[in-house]
Amino acid sequence: MRIARVLTRLNLGGPARQALASDPRLVARGHAVRLFAGTPEPGEGDLFPTFQQRGLDVVRVPGLRRGLGLSDLLARRRLRRELAAFAPDVVHTHASKAGALGRSALTGSAFARTARVHTFHGHVLEGYFPAPIARRLVATERRLAARTDRIVAVSHATADDLVRLGVTGEEKLVVIQPGLELEELLALERERRGPAASELRAFLGAGAEDVLVGVVGRLAEVKQPLLALEVFQLLAARHAQLQLVFVGDGELRGTLVRALAALPAGLGPRAHLLGAREDMPAVLGALDAVLLTSRSEGLPVALIEAAAAGLPVVARPVGGVPELVVHERTGWLGSSTEELAFGLDRLLADPAGARAAGARARLRVARAHGAEVLAERLEELYRLVVAERAGQEAPR
């Protein structure tokens, strides 16, 4: 098959990481895969060169970026021209902006037999914007879904939301949870840190007895990094060895820098802003647990990677998080600041139990969230929608 993928940007987030995991395997299976992407925002990191170094076919689309603007028209025209030249059997778009521009570019007889797939990696259809704007967003996604062959949700919770909001019916929905290249993370030894992890802990000033808890993800409002700081402050006096590490960058960086500077005396050196990092084996190898305080999620890649690294997790039970984190078995779920602090306190007070939780988490993700599993599921879906468009029975 000829497979086109459209992503808004190849930052260090989940959609790009999943494409980097699955696309080489689809190519190895004999498919032609071309990925179209825009430009990340400052501080987000850019995996575009990494795709090129891996020998993958990637095309930069001018004007394709987050937010609304006149550049959207330029990006749509460029996408239409590029897609027509590539002549794909299936176009797979990811997230709202790439989904809107990519699918709206597929108009006219030239694309009559082109199958369309779109993935929701979470959504912003409620709880983000005023009610009138949210209703318009839902109406837009409903119109786009009507001319899409399959809608993919990264979690069952996201799928339930899409049905409840009337975006699409169950007959078009399929749940394909994220898959990643986990081999390096699965190989990490929790009992003995590697050189890169040890160097990172030394850089942060963490000793052997210190416990590093990571907040991994964009510094964005939806991730609520300031809530993580509140959890840290609740526990700092009780656990003198506790340190907090923010791994990521984004629009709240300045706000977080000011919040860290305003910490009470003695706490400042125990809270760190590491920035966006691509060396996740070193980062997760240096950590002892991961804290997720988001108010909305699809199925967070950060928690899959944490589990693969053998780390226990404390998280809010939003979106698909409970599909990854088993309460009191692989981590702790809590909705409020106090519940999150209680869960983290339990892990800190019982190091052996925390290690056991991380080991159980590792077993769960190794089986279900590898790159090969994702490639197989995508290939199966692509064959199905291409055959349906052609009016044929899907090959087995």
Ramachandran region, residue 342 (left: φ > 0; alpha: ψ -120 to 50; beta: rest): alpha
Q: What is the DSSP letter of 194?
A: -
Q: How many whole angstroms separate alpha carbon 396 and alpha carbon 236?
A: 57
Beta bridge partners of 123: none
How do residues 302-336 score in pLDDT, each as one tens digit? Answer: 999 999 999 999 999 999 999 999 999 999 999 99
Three-state secondary structure call for residue 189: coil
346, 232, 241, 240: which is closest to 293 by C-alpha?
232
Fold designation for 184-368: Rossmann fold (3.40.50)
Q: What is the structure's pLDDT at 393?
A: 58
Average pLDDT of the segment spanning 96-119: 93
Any idea which residue has 């109406």 for tokens? 139
Are the C-beta atoms of residues 88 and 115 closer than 8 Å to each other? no
Q: How many whole angstroms separate alpha carbon 329 and alpha carbon 357?
A: 6
69, pLDDT greater than 80? no
Q: Which CATH superfamily is domain 2-180+370-390 in?
A: Glycogen Phosphorylase B; (3.40.50.2000)
Per-residue pLDDT band at 65 (split at 50, 70, 90) = confident
Average pLDDT of the segment spanning 81-109: 94
Give yes or no on whether 2-180+370-390 and 184-368 have one common fold.
yes
- Looking at every residue in the chain, the average pLDDT score rounds to 93
How do residues 234-272 score in pLDDT, each as one tens digit? Answer: 999 999 999 999 999 989 999 999 999 999 989 999 999
Q: What is the DSSP letter of 171?
A: G
**Residue 301 burial (CB count, 10 A):** 25
Q: Domain residues of the chain, as ranges?
A: 2-180+370-390, 184-368
Query: Kindly report the CA angle at 383 between 172 and 10, in degrees rounded to 5?
Result: 80
